[in-house]
Structure 1
Amino acid sequence: AKLADKFSIVRSFVTGDAVHDIKTIVGKDTMKANLGSLYSRMAGPLRQGSAMPTNVALFPQAVSTTAMPVIKKFGDFTSSGEFGSTYQPFVPGAGSGAQADMTLSMPQTRLDDRRALLTSLDQWQRSMDGSQSIGGASEFQSLAFDVLRRGVSDAFDLSKEDPRLIARYDTAALLPKNRISKQWNNHQHYADNAATLGKLLLMARRLCERGCGFVTVTTNFVWDMHADNNNAPCRVGMDYVGRPFDHAVSALIEDIEARGLSEKIMLVCCGEMGRSPRLNATGGRDHWGGLAPLMIYGGGTKRGQVIGQSSRNGGEPASEPITIPDLIATIMHTLVDVGEARVTDGLPPGLLNVLTRGEPIRGLV
């Protein structure tokens, strides 16, 4: 609440249905690709100059070796749709081989020698058979060498961060695992969320600061509050997930403000649907497609705005609905020059349609 003048709330956001999926980030409105893959298709898979991946997805295992694997039964956050694997989000894992492969483990001179040797072999092969197929491989080799040479892996290493800042972000102490009742089948989901959310947002800030254009953060579907065998009722559930969210997001906003990055980093907090305005028979709330939460901060958007109105019971918009295409247009408006994209050769027509289908949210941009 103390930071309410920094971010904006949209009270008339509608996702269209109550289906458990990931439609705001991967769905029919994004060509069934992670929205970051659309951005990566326009910006390139690696940032020029820094070799930072332009599209990254952060799951609990990015900062914890004991966290559950990402859940995919509701949708695949790493989907790149028709754009191909080149534009899939990079997915780091704590102690994973992928991150280790991004670290230079030999002297720079030796790496340069290997690069020169590969270049010579490529040239020889081309002269022998006239093949053009090696060209694509050479491009990926060049990208790989840039990743190694520029020390990209440092951005994923939280040990490089000030311990005091790590402590400010850390949400683990807010909900020790022994405080989560095992009567809920999803108790491990709650535990992973509390243990990792703060550090995931810290890593996201580090990545954005180093040039990553799009970061997806998710902690495995913890916001259901049906009051059934799987999920806690509202009061308990909000204690499990609300406090870590408040702590982590406030730490991120304060950190971005302190670094003067509020114009360069945009934070979007949302889900695939809302929750029913009426309690169910067991004191929980069920899926609701009539209205959904949406919070937006930074990226040049206006601060402290309350956009739209909802009905008295919070069940549907009482003003013009804001849709997923409108949210996408708002995000892309901050990331790319849509007018320039219209005249850029080679972009898929479907991608241009995604960019222009909705309208940036009035009152924010």
Structure 2
Amino acid sequence: MAALEFFDRINGNRRTFLRVSGLLGASGLLAGRNAHGAAPLRTGKSVIFLFLHGGPSQFETFDPKPSAPAEIRSVYGTCSTSVPGVEYSANMPLLARVAHRTAIVRSYQSGSSAHRLQPLVAADTLQANLGSIVAKVIGANDTKTGMPTNVGLFPQSVDSELNGPISNFGNFASTGDLGLSTSPFLPGGSGDLQDAMKLHLSRQRLSDRRQLLSGLDKIRRSLDDQQRRGLDSIQRQAFDTILGGVAKAFDLSNEDARTIARYDTADFYLPDSWNDKNNRERYGHNAKSLGKLLLLARRLCEAGCTFVTVSTDFVWDMHADVNNLGVERGMQVVGRPFDHALSAYIEDVESRGLQDKILLVATGEMGRTPKLNNRGGRDHWGRLSPLLLHGGGLT
């Protein structure tokens, strides 16, 4: 399916197209097919999609509503930002200092108040992961570096003892009908999967094995044509990944120790703050991993990856019930590592001159209700959700 044909399938709905293409930076991604229909050219730009799974509160982040009635305002009050006249919730002091480098959209809505994966995987994306759309347009790997186009990062990506993708609300790796070759690559931390990406054979022997596989693949498989094409592409992707030495980009031990320390959110691992909740494991895993996940995302984009999803492991659902913390305690547990890690990312990317190369999008599947419930939590609200953008030539 040609790249532009995919967008033709979104029912001619202009608003839907703008939702999808705006998040992807589609004008750049689609700008590469030559007159002969050759493979699309890469622009050298990347997207990091920071998925605040659970649904972040707009009030306790970037829209504290200081002039609203007391029962609607941020429970933390406000703090001034580096943009005159703009205030954030007072629990976001580090992001407030770099507000002039970001764009906050206060009118964004996902259109749903359900715990699914929108806008990352939704009807608007034809049930395909946004990164899978990019992979369909420009190919599964960078042909020069071997870097996967589409990568999904979860706590397990930086620590094999932590959680992988949560599957309760949908499949992060869904490709719709785009084919298996567009699936996101899901690294598994420092365990066997990362080791498997390293080249333990000579290039000549690996080439011999490629030829052997090619010969065996001529045997008729009991798969339909589309599945065969997907598997062939996956095999090519695996060889390209290994030969490209991609494991180096995934290995944080190659990063400067001072940079790792700047991103690190492990100091926010405070079990006494969440041990009374059923969701306690996820709070802990998020605190241990968020900073390193953003650092890893930056490394991957710097090495040539085009679309990286970072998931926060479903910690933003703040009903104040048996499972989840309420807003005041929850934003201490979840908001502080977010403020720390994202501000570190922004400062790091700016210092490296990468701000025009990498677009970071931070949002969740919905927002939270204007009024607190009687337990001090905020419930689901699909009519508004916080949205932060950084870089990509937009900020």
TM band (smaller chain): 0.7 to 0.9
Please tell me whether residue 22 in structure 1 is matched to residue 117 in structure 2: yes
| TM-score computed with the length of structure 1 as normaliser | 0.75
Query: 2:333 pairs with 240, 244, 262, which one?
Result: 240
- Give the Cα separation in 2 of the matches to 1:140 and 1:92: 15
Is 1:262–1:299's contact at 8 Å kept on the other side of the alignment?
Answer: yes
| 3-state SS of 1:268 partner | strand
Partners in 1 of 2:291 and 2:233 — Cα distance?
A: 36
Match of 2:287 in 1: 194
| 1:268-320, Cα deviation, whole Å (9 max, x unpaired) | 0000111011010111111111211000011111x2xxxxxxxxxxxxxxxxx
Q: Alpha-carbon deviations, 1:249-275, whole Å to 9, x = none?
A: 111111111111111100000001110
Hey, what does 1:118 align to over in structure 2?
A: 212
Contact 1:180 1:191 in 2 (8 A): no
Asked if 2 retains the 8 angstrom alpha-carbon contact of 1:37 and 1:55, the reply is yes
Counterpart residue number, 1:46: 141
Partner of 2:165: 70
* 8 Å Cα contact 1:11-1:293 kept in structure 2: yes
Look up the equivalent residue of 1:294 and give its one-letter code: L
- Superposition map of 1:311-350 within 5 A: none
Q: Does the C-alpha gap of structure 1 residues 187 and 266 become closer, same or farther in structure 2, counting only changes over 3 Å?
A: same
Cα 1:277–1:146, aligned 2, differ >3 Å: closer, same or farther? same
Distance 2:238 2:165 in 1: 26
2:320 is aligned to: 227
What is the one-letter code of the residue matched to 1:146? D
Partner amino acid, structure 2, of 1:227: A
Contact 1:227 1:234 in 2 (8 A): yes
Q: Which amino acid aligns with 1:193?
A: N
2:375 paired residue number:
282
Pairwise mapping of residues 74-85 of structure 1 onto structure 2 (< 5 A)? 74-85=169-180
Change (3 A) 1:277 1:136: closer
Q: Which residue number in structure 1 is paired with residue 390 of structure 2?
A: 297
TM-score, normalization by structure 2: 0.70
- 1:15-164 alignment, distance < 5 Å: 15-115=110-210, 118=212, 122=215, 141-164=235-258
Aligned residue for 1:260, secondary structure, equals: coil
Question: Aligned with 1:81: secondary structure?
Answer: coil
The 8 Å contact of residues 126 and 176 in structure 2, kept in 1 or not, is answered as yes
Where in structure 2 are there 5+ consecutive unaligned residues? 1-95, 220-224
* Pair 1:2-2:112 in alignment: no
Deviation of residue 236 (structure 1)? Answer: 0.4
| Pair 1:225–1:139, CA change in 2 (3 A) | closer
> Is the partner of 2:348 in helix, strand or coil?
helix
Q: How many residues align?
A: 294
User: What percentage of aligned pairs have identical amino acids?
Assistant: 50
CA distance in 2, matches of 1:293, 1:20: 16
Residue 57 of structure 1: SS of its match in structure 2?
strand
1:66 Cα offset (Å):
2.1
- Residues 139/154 of structure 1: CA separation in 2 closer, same or farther (3 Å cut): same
Q: How far, CA to CA, are the matches of 1:138 and 1:79 in structure 2?
A: 18
Q: Given residue 12 of structure 1, which amino acid in structure 2 is its aligned partner?
A: S
Q: Distance in 2 between matches of 1:140 and 1:68?
A: 25
Structure 1 distance, partners of 2:217, 2:271, is 63
Q: Deviations over 1:28-78 (max 9, x none)?
A: 011111100001000111111011100000011111122133211111111
CA distance in 1, matches of 2:384, 2:186: 31
Deviations 1:313-340, CA, capped at 9 Å, x for gaps:
xxxxxxxxxxxxxxxxxxxxxxxxxxxx
Match of 2:264 in 1: 170
Amino acid at match of 1:98: L
